[in-house]
Amino acid sequence: MHKPIPAFIYSKANQIFMILFVPLFALIFIGTYRPFDFDRIGEILDLHINISNESFVLLSALIMVLSGMAIGAISRLIMGYYTKRHQLTYLGYILWILGEIGVMATLFTFFTLFTDTDKSLPELLRNSYVNTALIVLIPYTLSYILFVLRDKMGELKALRQQIEKDETVLQKAYIQILDEKGEMRLSIRRDNLVLIESADNYVCVYYINGDKAKKTMVRNTLGRVADHLNGARIVRCHRSYMINLDHVQVLHRDKEGVFIELGIEGVPDVPISRTYAQNITDWISYKE
């Protein structure tokens, strides 16, 4: 009971909703079940004003509802200022609502003094408290349930968005190697993929598993694999090779051309052809 209530319960939007919803519910409730007796004052008005009983009941209910609405608005305004500086506990919130009911019931008791003089003041006060509690607590409870559901739906939506974001990050962290039919044959963490080499109608995929370099064969052409991995920083450097740029250690030139050293045992040095040299040049410029 001493635990602070969630802040969304007394947020500005929810407070406005309650100020509008509770009077609407009260108007329907009073007009339908007539918990207060308007007959006596209706008889008095019949002497002076040509008004039907139904219209009088509606008018009386409207006056009571507007009075209660004013009390609720003032109470919620005070609550807004209070919660800016203090935490409102469940016990405090319940006592606050009971205080609102008490003020409204007292006001309605004075109103019913003019409508039902056959009952004593304590009996009128008791009836007003019971009726006011029904009028107020039902929409308050419905509002609380709505606020909780709306907050939980918001949390669920945020959780789904986070899961989708995590899945996207996870998908980007892995490279899928597809076969010639478009079916996934190998899924490797991008950091572990080192080299893809063409071998006729197959590609040989070099990757790191633990501390050792391993390789596996997948039936597909290097061209189709390159199209699928476009934008994944696994770039073509030769008509027969694709490399993971993050594993490049050394570039060296000899009489046979320019080669990439990956510095991984079991993985061969890779030549750079003139056709794909720009891919490596762009990477070097980006690193700088």
Whether the per-residue pLDDT at 44 is higher than 60: the answer is: no
Which comes out higher in pLDDT, residue 17 or 216? 216
Average pLDDT of the chain, as a whole number: 81
Rounded CA-CA distance 100/104 in Å is 6
Mean pLDDT, residues 81-102 taken together: 86
Whether the per-residue pLDDT at 63 is higher than 70: the answer is: yes
Q: Supply the pLDDT for residue 216.
A: 93
Its pTM stands at: 0.52
Whether the per-residue pLDDT at 82 is higher than 90: the answer is: no
Residue ranges of the chain assigned to CATH 2.40.50.1020: 180-287
Instruction: Find out whether 279 and 272 touch, Cβ atoms under 8 Å.
Output: no
Looking up tokens 């699928």 gives: 228
Whether the per-residue pLDDT at 47 is higher than 50: the answer is: no
Mean pLDDT, residues 246-254 taken together: 85
Fold of 180-287: OB fold (Dihydrolipoamide Acetyltransferase, E2P) (2.40.50)
Least confident of 62-71, 216-225, 256-265: 62-71
